């Protein structure tokens, strides 16, 4: 599903002179629907999370690339025993070579209606709701969202 979502942006991103790299790795998925290794998401929510992050990367990247990484992470919980269990989750990263976000703005980027001042992208539209929605939908899936960024270098969500 993630590759299909990324392919919807491929032409637009390439026409803008950017490179889109998609790296989806779920090699340890056994395909059997085992509760220990399968990760279940609400597809509608997943699409919103993915589109918000990829749209922002495109909006604020004028040259360079956008890199999407999706990894299945398995963590063993407890001491080795029959009661030990595996916690499986997905890690989505969207990294760009865009304008970046000033360090003082980073703590607020997931706040509803917050817009970083003085940062210019492809367009000036937006309400400051996208990243707040991304955070809320991620939390509904039991996850979290974070950002790393450097002005003039790019951002990773």
How do strand 65-77 and strand 19-25 relate by DSSP bridges?
parallel
Mean of pLDDT over the chain: 86
CB atoms closer than 10 angstroms to residue 92: 19
- DSSP structural state of residue 29: -
Where do we find the tokens 């398995």? 74
Rounded to a whole number of angstroms, the distance between the first and last alpha carbons of the chain is: 19
* Per-residue pLDDT at 32: 43
- How does strand 154-156 pair with strand 65-77? unpaired
What average pLDDT score do residues 97-121 get?
Answer: 90
Per-residue pLDDT tens over the stretch 32-80: 445 456 777 888 999 999 999 999 999 999 999 999 999 988 877 777 7
Query: Mean pLDDT, to the nearest integer, of 134-151?
Result: 94
Contact (Cβ atoms closer than 8 angstroms) between residue 105 and residue 131 = no
pTM: 0.83
């Amino acid at each position: 599903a993630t590759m299909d979502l990324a392919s919807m942006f491929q032409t637009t991103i390439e026409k803008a002179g950017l490179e889109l790299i998609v790296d989806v790795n779920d090699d340890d998925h056994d395909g059997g629907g085992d509760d220990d290794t399968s990760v279940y998401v609400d597809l509608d929510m997943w699409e919103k999370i993915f589109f918000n992050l990829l749209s922002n990367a495109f909006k604020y990247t004028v040259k360079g690339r956008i890199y999407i990484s999706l990894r299945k992470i398995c963590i063993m919980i407890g001491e080795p025993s029959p009661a030990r269990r595996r916690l499986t989750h997905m890690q989505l990263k969207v990294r760009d070579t865009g304008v970046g976000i000033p360090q003082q703005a980073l703590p607020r980027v997931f706040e509803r209606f917050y817009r970083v001042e003085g940062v210019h992208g492809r367009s000036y539209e937006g309400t400051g709701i996208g990243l707040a929605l991304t955070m809320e939908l991620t939390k509904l899936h039991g996850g979290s969202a974070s950002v790393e960024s450097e002005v003039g270098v790019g951002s990773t969500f």
